[in-house]
Amino acid sequence: AQKITQTQPGMFVQEKEAVTLDCTYDTSDQSYGLFWYKQPSSGEMIFLIYQGSYDEQNATEGRYSLNFQKARKSANLVISASQLGDSAMYFCAIMESGYNKLIFGAGTRLAVHP
Partner 1 sequence: NAGVMQNPRHLVRRRGQEARLRCSPMKGHSHVYWYRQLPEEGLKFMVYLQKENIIDESGMPKERFSAEFPKEGPSILRIQQVVRGDSAAYFCASSPPLIRGLTSYEQYFGPGTRLTVT
Q: Which residues contact 64 (CB under 8 A, 6 or more apart)?
A: 36, 48, 49, 77, 78, 79
Q: Which is nearer to partner 1, 12 or 47 (CB)?
A: 47
Least CB distance to partner 1 at residue 25 (A): 13
Q: CB of residue 48 vs partner 1: minimum separation in angstroms? A: 10
Residues that bind partner 1 in the complex, under the rule CB under 8 A: 31-33, 35, 37, 43-47, 50, 52-54, 91, 93, 95, 97, 99-107
Q: How far is the CB of 82 from partner 1 (least distance, A)?
A: 22
CB of 15 to partner 1, least distance (A): 26
Q: Among residues 16 and 40, whose Cβ is nearest to partner 1?
A: 40
Cβ neighbours of residue 21 closer than 8 Å, sequence gap 6 or more: 6, 8, 11, 36, 76, 77, 78, 79, 90, 92, 108, 110
Closer by beta carbon to partner 1, 101 or else 114: 101
Nearer to partner 1, 43 or 85 (CB): 43
Other Cβ atoms less than 10 A from the Cβ of 39: the count is 15
Cα-to-chain-centroid distance, residue 95? 13
